[in-house]
Amino acid sequence: MKLQTLASAIALGLSAVAAHAVTLPATTIKIVAFNDFHGQLESPGNFRNLPTDAASTIPVGGVDWMAGYVADLKAQNPSTIVVSAGDIIGATPLVSALFHDEPTIETMNRLGLEFNAVGNHEFDEGKTELKRMQNGGCHPTDPNSCKGADVGTPVPFEGAKFKFLAANVVETANGKTLFPQYAIKTVGGVRVGFIGMTLKETPTIVTPTGVAGLSFTDEAATVNALIPKLRARGVEAVVVLIHQGGTIPVTQSVASINNCDGGLADSPIKTIVNQLDDEVDLVISGHTHQAYNCQIANKAGRLISVTSANSQGRVLTDIDVTINTANGEVSAVNAENIAVVRNNPAITPNAGIKTIVDNYKALATPIANRVIGSISAAITRTATAAGESALGDVIADAQLAATSPAGFGAAVVSFMNPGGIRADLTYPGSSAGEGDGKVTYAEAFTVQPFGNTLVTLTLTGAQIHTLLEQQFMGCTAGYPAGAPASGQPFNRIMQVSAGFSYEWSEKGTPCDNVDPASIKINGVTLDPATSYRVTVNNFMADGGDQYYVLTQGSNRLGGALDLDALESYFLTNGVVNPGARNRILLAPAL
């Protein structure tokens, strides 16, 4: 399993010299990996849509091109296994989401995916729907289900031909894991074990109904407990597929996809790898939508490969694992991230998969291409140093507009979680031909794909202050029993509606980042004892993203779908301008 130590390698080398250069028998298998596909059946565009980075303004992705690259890599080595580190579904574009992500499963079947570790977004529609993704069958209520991969010849949804793995996801009712903890495949004469799991914090970032009846165990402890079982079954190489990751402190570009600047310092994945048993040979990670190719020390201090392949099919990781067949030890792991560049003459995209996508697009087109509004310029998620984005401003304003009338909630402020804003609104027209500055339903859906509903509730001024503090790392004020003891893993700055403003500082003291005197609603300082009507989405209202104080809100009133509120805002306001990004201020450093 583990790589040979330097001492044993030297000893073997000396023995080989003494034995007149006897060559140890070895075999190399290939693993092709990706993560965070999010149903991106079509190209997400350029690797980065930034004119100043010419090297990255190249078109990438598209599941047909991904399949072409996979086929090319398999041709190089028939002993190839294709795997994913989670989030292949959930938060998906309309062409997949409209059909409950069945198109994604169907195309992944044909791409040749074999194992997928569940990610947090696999739970967006709950465990029953996730099991349907594995087992097949039609959605119980939606007629858009079961169109069939041929599209036009409706048949029961085939389900995933690959295996979902969920080593650390336990059904509390019976103590069993939701899906198998691991899978073993013999390839090239080598028995390879794949352990698949999601981040243990999944319940804090998924709506509570999505993880009802489930518990999530510690990642490293789960892996280490499985090692003896894999050894007993003759596994020679151990690969961990984990939907957790880290970041590198450089702007993501084609040139940086194999970087490991900063060594994933202070990241969740580094903490996990540092605790792993020495029998683990490779960790394929995800969740953070980053591309990196790292060597991180395990519990024994040995460096092992830790990889991640960006997101949405932009990158594949090509990994060669060499095993000494005489002793069953892994002797080398070589990984390389490769960009899925479209129009590469050396690659042939999969025509059958393209036909599936095109057919689903044709079904979705009447809905997708409907123009719902106009913008004067691109409205993006790019945030100020204080954490405020122009698109966040617009979405918060739309949600306030939908719930401020007396009969719809009488809200005076709306808050929006940044993780719920999934794409930018770009100014140039799309291939649908709607024209520059026009916003289609499909584009708006890509921005807010979760189908959340608005909830208006009553909080005191003191609770609003607590809510603002709960955005920041380390603050656990107002946390219920059983909540993560360490608070937010990173700052999650909510977007706020017009008329609400405040200032925060980087004091480094938990629960003391926001100056109460700076919190104002329509120019009036927040009164801790006064009650205010506040609008959020249902995910946040139920404590999602660790905004737990919202669960204490009273007089809840359900409202429209978040996407309907955004569409109504566009229809009402004509040409919408980017938000001013002047509502959240960062105090000067002392």
The backbone torsions φ and ψ at residue 295, rounded to the nearest 5 degrees and listed phi first, read -120, 115
Q: What is the DSSP string of 361-415?
A: HHHHHHHHT-EEEEESS-B---B-TTS-BHHHHHHHHHHHHHH-SGGGT--SEEE
Residue 11 has pLDDT above 60, yes or no: no
What digits encode the pLDDT tens for the residues 171-183? 999 999 999 999 9
CATH class, range 370-586: alpha beta
pLDDT confidence bin for 225, thresholds 50/70/90: very high
- Please enumerate in sequence order all residues whose Cβ is within 8 A of that of 141, keeping only pairs 6 or more positions apart, or say none: none
Mean pLDDT, the chain, rounded, equals 92
pLDDT confidence bin for 239, thresholds 50/70/90: very high
How many residues are listed for the chain in this entry? 590
What digits encode the pLDDT tens for the residues 291-329? 999 999 999 999 999 999 999 999 999 999 999 988 999
27-357 matches 370-586 in fold: no
List Cα–Cα distances, 525 to 154, 214, 504, 530, in angstroms: 59, 42, 15, 11
> Which burial class, exposed, middle or buried, applies to 63 when counting CB atoms under 10 A from its CB (0-12, 13-18, 19+)?
buried
* Helix ranges, 254-350 (H): 268-273
What is the C-alpha R_g of the chain? Answer: 25
The predicted pLDDT at position 208 comes to 87
The side-by-side arrangement of strands in the sheet containing 329-339 is 163-165, 115-117, 80-84, 26-34, 315-324, 329-339
Residue 299 per-residue DSSP state: T
Residue 49 has pLDDT above 60, yes or no: no
More confident residue, 509 or 550: 550
What digits encode the pLDDT tens for the residues 67-100? 999 999 999 999 999 999 999 999 899 999 999 9
Residue 6 has pLDDT above 50, yes or no: no
* Largest Cα–Cα separation, the chain: 90
Residue owning tokens 């399993």: 1
Residue owning tokens 């991640």: 308
Contact present, 287 and 119 (Cβ < 8 Å): yes
Task: Please state whether the predicted TM-score (pTM) of the whole model is above 0.75.
Answer: yes
How much is the average pLDDT of 22-28?
79
The predicted pLDDT at position 562 comes to 96
> Which burial class, exposed, middle or buried, applies to 408 when counting CB atoms under 10 A from its CB (0-12, 13-18, 19+)?
middle
The predicted pLDDT at position 22 comes to 52
The predicted pLDDT at position 51 comes to 47
Contact present, 296 and 270 (Cβ < 8 Å): yes
What is the topology classification, in CATH, of domain 27-357? Purple Acid Phosphatase; chain A, domain 2 (3.60.21)
Domain boundaries in the chain?
27-357, 370-586
Beta bridge partner(s), residue 284: 241, 307
pLDDT confidence bin for 16, thresholds 50/70/90: very low
How much is the average pLDDT of 562-569?
96
How much is the average pLDDT of 353-374?
94
